[in-house]
């Protein structure tokens, strides 16, 4: 048996999603283009719109606000491109220094102001809002940080930006299923969501576009998704997304409590260790993610040692290279950017997984410390 504790990268696909996807591929009549008027096309359209309703219900949104995408990376690109394309005179964006690379790389394509964070990875709303200018088109702010789990002050920033007439994009990839989410209540203009982070099939995602907001599309060539994203929808995978969303909507409170309890066990163990520390905000945080500072030990041998004992975790960003380069998030926090482990839990995590981690991790660390003291 193995213990998979890398849910911040991706969660295993839920059985409900696998069942829905498999049923779609084996159904009669066969799959068809949901834009067609024949029977097969109408069957596909009904399935697609049901998935849209299921997803909207989970997110606290209207179905018409849901634009299906291939994942949060595409949703972020759509949000940024669309916001910058609304007014040629407004080409400036504001973002925090701990945003995901998908946000930072798009911001780097234009004029951007990056705002720092405190030692817990949390942005000061006043500082973020102070960077807004008359030509600012968009403010980016993630809901939950992807490396340390810090929750950002989304509601406060959205309210203030609305008063200033500036659009806000919220990256909610790490938030859905991990913290209570009601995206309509948040008032955000644009929200990106990744399906595979909460157990939907890979290659599925959502961009929520606030009702009444019009954006130029990133992908052109067709009128799919109400002319907001061209190309035939990936109906089978999106049916799986809808099934996963429906399951999560009925279990989300229980899942959050259960996963937070598992994370608390890991945090309590780390707090008792002299050379380890929990990084991130001790109060404003998601319970599913524990970022551990490992003083004086390179993360690569720790990852390999844990893997040999059947435990899968990660170090640094969810989208960092195999070289495990220093984390820009930890650098922005003023923490050691090269020596950390990221342990992340999800819907399939169990007490047995945490038991295995806490059983084998001390031995892996002790062995590496002994090698450091006596390299011969």
The residues carrying an active-site annotation are: 319
323: buried, middle or exposed (CB in 10 Å: 19+, 13-18, 0-12)? exposed
CA-based nearest residue to 203, from 247, 170, 233, 172? 233
Peptide bond into 116 cis (omega under 30): no
Q: Which H or E run includes 343? A: strand 340-344
CA-based nearest residue to 86, from 204, 196, 238, 189? 189
Say if residues 129 and 141 touch (Cβ distance below 8 Å): no
Give CA–CA dist 279/336, Å, rounded. 10
Number of Cβ within 10 Å of residue 162's Cβ equals: 14
Q: Which tokens belong to 283?
A: 């109060």
């Amino acid at each position: 048996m193995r213990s998979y504790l890398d849910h911040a990268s991706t969660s295993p696909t839920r059985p409900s999603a696998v069942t829905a996807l498999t049923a779609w591929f084996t159904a009669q009549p066969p799959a068809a283009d949901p834009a067609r008027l024949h029977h097969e096309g109408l069957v596909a359209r009904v399935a697609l719109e049901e998935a849209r309703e299921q997803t909207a219900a989970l997110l606290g949104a209207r179905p018409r606000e849901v634009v299906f995408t291939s994942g949060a990376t595409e949703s972020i690109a759509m949000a940024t491109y669309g916001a910058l394309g609304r007014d040629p005179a407004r080409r400036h964006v504001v973002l925090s220094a701990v945003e995901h690379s998908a946000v930072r790389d798009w911001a780097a394509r234009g004029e951007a102001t990056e705002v720092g964070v405190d030692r817990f990875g949390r942005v000061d709303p006043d500082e973020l809002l102070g960077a807004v200018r008359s030509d600012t088109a968009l403010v980016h702010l993630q809901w939950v940080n992807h490396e340390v789990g810090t929750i950002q002050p989304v509601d406060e920033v959205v309210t203030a930006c609305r008063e200033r007439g500036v659009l806000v994009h919220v990256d909610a990839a790490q938030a859905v299923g991990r913290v209570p989410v009601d995206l309509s209540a948040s008032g955000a203009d644009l929200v990106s969501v990744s399906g595979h982070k909460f157990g939907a099939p890979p290659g599925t995602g959502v961009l929520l576009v606030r009702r009444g907001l019009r954006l130029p599309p990133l992908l052109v060539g067709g009128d799919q998704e109400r002319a907001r994203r061209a190309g035939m929808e990936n109906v089978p995978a999106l049916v799986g997304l809808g099934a996963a969303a429906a399951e999560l909507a009925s279990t989300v409170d229980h899942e959050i409590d259960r996963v937070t309890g598992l994370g608390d066990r890991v945090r309590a163990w780390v707090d008792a260790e002299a050379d380890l520390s929990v990084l991130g905000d001790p109060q404003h945080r998601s319970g599913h993610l524990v970022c551990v500072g490992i003083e004086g030990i390179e993360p690569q041998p720790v990852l390999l040692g844990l893997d040999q004992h059947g435990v899968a975790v990660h170090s640094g960003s969810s989208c960092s290279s195999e070289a495990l380069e220093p984390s820009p998030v930890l650098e922005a926090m003023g923490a050691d950017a090269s020596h950390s482990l990221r342990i992340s839990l999800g819907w399939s995590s169990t007490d047995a997984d945490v038991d295995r981690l806490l059983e084998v991790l001390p031995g892996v660390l002790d062995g590496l410390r002994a090698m450091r003291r006596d390299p011969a």
